[in-house]
Amino acid sequence: MPLTTTDGHGPKSVLPRQPGAPRPGSARHDAGWFRRVRDRRRAQRVRRNHERAARRTWFGRHPKTTALLAVLVALTPVWWSLGSFMANPANGPFGGRFVEWVRDHGGNGIVVWVENWWYAHHPPPTGGKPKAGAIPSPKGAGATTPNATVAHLPVPSPIAPLASPPIPGEGLWHPAGRLVHGIPAVYESYLRPDPVHTSVVDGVMWMDPTLLRATLYSGSQVPGDGPWHYTAPVGSVEATSLVAAFNSGFRMSDALGGYYSEGREVVPLRTGAATAVIYTDGTMNIGAWGTEVTRTPEVVAARQNLHLLVDNGAPVPGLNANDTSEWGFTLHNDIYVWRSGVGITGDRAIVYVGGPGLNITTLADLLVRAGAMRAMELDINTAWVNAATYGPSTPDGAASAANGTNLITGMAGGTSRYFSPWYRDFFTMSAR
């Protein structure tokens, strides 16, 4: 017999719950609902499987797999391009190859964002002391072999340290690489770049143009447009006079300048751009194109990269570490990272600075302290900054990775970089 209840809208009949039936909301009641849902879904899956089985082709029976295969096939050129680039050692250190490939295929903005995030969250340590041996002992610093019959520049004056108190040997010069006519043609010095990051050490390489001849080696991709006579690897004949080698500038798409070598202007030279110029006599000059350096019949190579970093013996006016529009878009220039630069002194010596923990202003400061009257930034980031000297056991012996020494221990590419196929351009300094 139905029971009568009221809900405010009049009487309502409710059938009584049968003995043993589950109470609404109880576990038994919920379990029954879930079983019905499960059975309904199972029936739907069975029906779909029957429908797929009735289709005539394998692709029709496996639509999701077919869609995935279609995507993989469509991306075959991408996998091939990436795989080929990653498998080629000439494209740089393995970790840097993927980054370069992404840049070349429209991902430069992504790379810049990731790099800036990484370096902003991994700054060099403040305070502390350098690792043992990072700054060589002052013993033997400044030593040279007098030779009155051969013209050469005097040993440069020590560099005044920026951090206090100075570490013994900091800023002093040490001969490096093979002797030229019995005289050191290259000297190296080590010092900390600023008073804050006192555990970071950077290197300076001073090169005597009266004893050394400069050459620009063109890369297979930077600038490209080969073949080139001078390209990596350094040849067996050239190796017998090689004394030092160091990296060049940014990729041409980021350099804001041009490239001229071996009679070919493969990227137009830009007026006002910072330019490393090499002449027929093997000397090098650094200056702004169109003013300090210009096109003459004696110019055999001109490599541009951004604007001058140092001019008239001082950092350029208005130098601002935050100004990425002036100094390129590769990284925010206030970020401390591996950087490099090259300059020319008042007596025409060439100075190279490279190492970790540098921003654009501290790089300029080191170049000035090393004596540069004019200087330009070269490449940046761990994978691309590399400088080495070579000291075979005999005066006319062949330079090789085995007798080479990097300016900073652990530089990417090591001493073998210039003796292997290499896709970027670089400079060499060879005995006259």
Cα 130 to Cα 5: distance, rounded to the nearest angstrom: 88
Whether 330 maps to a domain, the answer reads yes
The answer to whether residues 224 and 306 belong to one domain is: yes
Per-residue pLDDT at 332 exceeds 50? no
Specify the higher pLDDT residue, 230 or 56: 230
pLDDT at residue 19, rounded to an integer: 57
pLDDT at residue 49, rounded to an integer: 74
Per-residue pLDDT at 412 exceeds 80? yes
Looking up tokens 């000397």, which residue turns up? 283
Q: How many other C-beta atoms can be found within 10 angstroms of the C-beta atom of residue 292?
A: 17
Cα 284 to Cα 98: distance, rounded to the nearest angstrom: 34
Half-sphere exposure of 63 (CA within 13 A, CB side): 7
The answer to whether residues 194 and 305 belong to one domain is: yes
Sheet containing strand 259-261, strands side by side:
264-267, 259-261, 299-304, 274-279, 284-288
The answer to whether residues 206 and 328 belong to one domain is: yes
Whether 18 maps to a domain, the answer reads no
pLDDT in tens, 259-272: 999 999 999 999 99
The answer to whether residues 116 and 178 belong to one domain is: no
Listed in sequence order, the residues at least 6 apart from 232 whose beta carbon sits closer than 8 Å to its beta carbon are: 90, 217, 219, 220, 418, 419, 420, 421, 422, 426
Query: Do 150 and 205 contact (CB within 8 A), yes or no?
Result: no
Query: Do 266 and 259 contact (CB within 8 A), yes or no?
Result: yes
The answer to whether residues 207 and 110 belong to one domain is: no
The answer to whether residues 261 and 345 belong to one domain is: yes
Which of the residue ranges 72-81, 145-154, 312-321, 382-391 has the most confident prediction, judged by mean pLDDT?
382-391
3-state secondary structure of 308: strand
| Domain stops at, among 121, 148, 181 | 121
Could you list the residue range(s) of the whole structural domain that residue 192 is in?
A: 173-431
pLDDT at residue 374, rounded to an integer: 98
| Domain stops at, among 84, 106, 121 | 121
Query: Do 342 and 352 contact (CB within 8 A), yes or no?
Result: yes
Listed in sequence order, the residues at least 6 apart from 259 whose beta carbon sits closer than 8 Å to its beta carbon are: 218, 223, 252, 265, 266, 267, 269, 302, 303, 304, 425
Q: What is the average pLDDT across 3-8? A: 52
3-state secondary structure of 180: strand
Cα 198 to Cα 163: distance, rounded to the nearest angstrom: 7
The answer to whether residues 107 and 193 belong to one domain is: no
Specify the higher pLDDT residue, 62 or 146: 62
Whether 30 maps to a domain, the answer reads no
The answer to whether residues 294 and 397 belong to one domain is: yes
| Mean confidence (pLDDT) of the chain | 85
pLDDT in tens, 306-320: 999 999 999 999 887
The answer to whether residues 228 and 101 belong to one domain is: no
pLDDT in tens, 193-217: 999 999 999 999 999 999 999 999 9
| Domain stops at, among 121, 155, 188 | 121
Tally the domains of the chain: 2
Cα 50 to Cα 45: distance, rounded to the nearest angstrom: 9
Query: Do 173 and 156 contact (CB within 8 A), yes or no?
Result: yes
